[in-house]
Structure 1
Amino acid sequence: MLRFKARVPRKVLAFGLPTAWGAMAITYKLTCPLAQQDGLGARIVTSAVFFAVGTGLILHVRRALVRELREMREVAGAAQSVLLRPLPPRIDGLNVAAAQLSADRGARVGGDLYEVIATEHGVRVVMGDVRGHGIAAIGTVAAVLGSFREAVHDEPDLRRVLHRLDRALARHLRERAPDEHPAAEDFVTVLLLEIGRDGEITALNCGHPWPYLLSGAGVEPLARTDPLPPLGLFPLPTELPPVPCGSLLPGDCLVLYTDGVEDARDARGRFFSLQAALADAVRHHLITPHTILRSLFTGVLRHTRGRQADDMALLVLRNDRTRLACNSLGARGTARPATTNTQPSNHL
């Protein structure tokens, strides 16, 4: 109510000031004797009056547009805090850091989504990419993330979580255009991960890039199987076999990302090499989630000179659990002792 009352005088000023200036200019033209003369001096004075009125109107409109843009950015920031809420720096023994960068300079929210939630079924992770970016993608991001945050606690089977996301997206698309069939371009790529207490990783992938695993063996994709089609393009197949992806041993990192990172190009059209950047970070011992995140974003922005064409999101998970929680052997050989690590921040 107070905000409404505060906006009333603002609207009065927005319409009242231009009206008053215009009335003054017309009154001067009709009633001032000087304005009726044809001499050079009279013309100069009349032109100066109308120039001052026009300049005032332009400045007033510019100030109003800047104020509206500032308010829109504040709304976008509030939406971001609800949709992509800051992740805790530590979730069930995993150190976490995440951030996204919108390609739309007028919005702080892009079409990328991510979430990490500890459940009784394990730590469950989603990384997705909505077609499009900016404020237009907020509704789809909200539908998918809202469904994920409920389903991960309710469904013991990761396949059922994916079905819930698929149904939520279909409902959203129908409600957005109830009299139309969803366009073929309306889709979302989704990667679901489940990390057990022993570090075992299970995945379901619908059209999303596989994350990179940083381990003692180097930098390699978490899996190499072909993903399913993105959600929204085709119905999910009857059989949805989860993909076993080995184990996340103590000290290992997972780097999840959206395709805007690897699709980033420089002035010569060359793509950004994410795997090479990760290998370089490992060589320089940048092995905490926060330092990896900062290093990658710095590298992409330097590569594109700050002119990225698509939204980008990065999510880094590091296993800092104890040896007892991960048994004594991992899927790739002898387990390494967990290292003590400072907790990273989620903000760049």
Structure 2
Amino acid sequence: MIALEPSEAIIRRVAELLESEIGLRPESALRARLRRCIRDELAVLGLDFERYLRALGASASLRQALLNRVTVQETGFFRHPEHFEILAQHILPTLPQPLSIWSAGCANGQEAFSLAMLLDELGIDGRVIATDVSTSALLRTNAASYAAREITGLSPERIARHLTPVGQAWEVNPSIRARVSTVHHNLIESVPHRVRSSSVVFCRNVLIYFSDQHARGFLDRVADALPQAWMLLGAAETIWSIGDRYDTVRLGDTYAYRPRSVSGGRVTGGALPARVAASQVGAGHADDVAAIAILAEAGRESLASGDPAAAVVSFRKWAYLAADDALAHLHLALALEAMNDRPSAQRAFGAAGRLLGADPARHDYAIDGYSPNELYKLLDAKQQELPQ
């Protein structure tokens, strides 16, 4: 008789497989979703858990079916419109044509078609390459057909211009569909050749599901393969905690990223500076401002090299010297999380949130262009992920 519920050991083994296969973080919040997905797969296959695990390890098609269930396809047309605004106002007008945009982790295609619509409206010669690890998501993108509830991000003017009603659905018009092509791609693998000429990379709300190691690897590969490309990430994605390959550029009310130049195998331009105000360092410790910059850099280098324990040591010293610095506690929390010391990470995230909330304007200097609201979103997400 097939068991009704997978055991914790089964869930752990599948989570480890998914981390290895697609970089998915093996966190507690994933377990309930995994449990449902495994139950659904077993209902289709008629296997018991042990037989399913053996088959899963041997069959790429079974792994793909599970990935299609597990991966989150939450998206919408012109979601987070501020990114499309800076693209239209500040980035696209500066780029040579024809141009390519990579929609990395395109989900069901609304992002890719939003980008294609924007190119059309601006009269720009360009195309969009949409990639995803989910084959079902790519099928939805290729179909370009959406229910009424899936087009709520479009204005009536855009619906009239770019969509056609077909039965109970809305189909993207052929002129927009012609600008979008799809590629099956796993973001923890090499950057596909087809996207290497892209001028812009949209990869929003994808890296939050990755382990730090895999997120850092993806960003490094993009920096190497597309050294001139603009990168747009989700507001809660913490690029400063997983590497120093990018500069932050404030454009309007939001931010974009560009790879730093590389010379002689070393990143030039300097790492994210620890710009600590003297008022946040204890009385009689003015010299500690320079020491903090060294500690912050050492901690980030330790994280980048896969040594979170050494990073924790550096960030604890930073937090001691600048006890009122929200960013010090945030870096410490991220390093503790990388060590899987979740209770300590919870306390450090809480301290960062309290310090930021006490006087948000005071901490603008410390986040190198990141708004306090973005840090609030990150801290809220982390507090929800970690056990109370």
TM-score, scaled to structure 1: 0.26
* Structure with more relative contact order (C-alpha pairs < 8 Å, separation 6 or more): 1
Higher Rg of the two aligned structures: 1
Which structure carries more strand by proportion?
A: 1
TM-score, scaled to structure 2: 0.24
